[in-house]
Amino acid sequence: MQWTDEGIVIGVRRHGEASAILELMTREHGRHLGMVRGGFGTRMKPILQTGNSVSASWRARLDEHLGNYTVEPMRQRASNFFGASHAIYGVTHLAALMRLLPERDPHEGLFNIFEQILDRLEDAVWAAPMVARFELQILSELGFGLDLEQCAATGETGDLIYVSPKSGRAVSRSAGAPYADRMLRLPAFMRDGEGEPSGRDLDDGFALTGFFLSRHVLEPRGQVFAEERMHFLAALNRALPQVA
């Protein structure tokens, strides 16, 4: 078995003295692991950093085997993240989100958005809403997409400002008013993807996705969010006033 694909590094761990087990999110083959001989050596270690793009050739005798990677650098963007704390935590958080996907299950659309975010992750104003919507798309890709197109109670398509925590469906202002204290807020940028959200909008967006990711994805696996998400959100709160 053999293939060549473009991949983004989402994890690497030492194997033996100098080799590495490399975890990539690939364009056509999904989240895929393989061994890189000498991966912790002087030449390869800078290439195998989370967030870098590589050209990877994978080979194994049988498809179910771990296999071996041969990789060449394509875009070494990891060093760009060190100039902003939100980017350092952000790339780790994004990689953790990608590891929620089933292994070897292609998600090319998600791969493309992942790549776009990494290319501009240092720009906090641009990246913050993109990451919130990325979490929303992760939910959809895992089969837990939210229905944000019309009100669950009335069928209205306008003035949708709430999401029911029970059903994951949007609720209009009028229908949700009596239950506002029990609803999750739905900021406009999470629906239409337009405009520059306020700090409150971003808080509401991440609270929304965090609630459903925890309920539907993490808790059934006995997991919780890694600390990087908390640190990423805190770093955003510090960065946004400075760059807005």
Q: What is the mean pLDDT of the chain?
A: 94
Q: Is residue 176 part of a domain?
A: no
Question: How many C-beta atoms surround the C-beta of residue 227 within 10 A?
Answer: 11
Question: In the 8-state DSSP scheme, what is residue 123?
Answer: -
Question: How many C-beta atoms surround the C-beta of residue 2 within 10 A?
Answer: 8
The answer to whether the CB of 206 falls within 8 A of the CB of 233 is yes
- Choose the weakest-confidence range: 43-57, 183-197, 204-218: 183-197
What is the span of the domain harbouring residue 123? 80-148+186-243
Q: What is the reported pLDDT for 121?
A: 97
Q: What is the reported pLDDT for 64?
A: 87
Q: Is residue 20 part of a domain?
A: yes
The answer to whether the CB of 25 falls within 8 A of the CB of 96 is no
Confidence label for 63 from pLDDT (cuts 50, 70 and 90): confident
Q: What is the reported pLDDT for 227?
A: 93
Determine phi and psi for 68, rounding to 5 degrees. Answer: -125, 140
Residue 243 has pLDDT above 60, yes or no: no
Angle value at C-alpha 239, between 233 and 244, nearest 5 degrees: 120
Q: Is residue 174 part of a domain?
A: no
The percentage of the chain sitting over the pLDDT mark of 90, rounded to a whole number, equals: 92
Residue 170 has pLDDT above 50, yes or no: yes
- Choose the weakest-confidence range: 2-16, 121-135, 164-178, 182-196: 182-196
Confidence label for 196 from pLDDT (cuts 50, 70 and 90): confident
Residue 244 has pLDDT above 70, yes or no: no
Residue 242 has pLDDT above 70, yes or no: no
The span from the CA of 50 to the CA of 8, in Å, is 8
Residues linked to residue 131 through DSSP beta bridges, in sequence order: none
State the pTM of this model.
0.93
Q: Is 211 found in the same domain as 227?
A: yes
Tokens matching residue 206: 């991440």
Q: Is residue 24 part of a domain?
A: yes
Q: Is 102 found in the same domain as 69?
A: no
In the chain, the number of structural domains is 2
Last residue of a domain, one of 53, 76, 99: 76
155: left (phi over 0), alpha (psi -120 to 50) or beta: left
- Per-residue pLDDT averaged across 126-138, rounded? 97
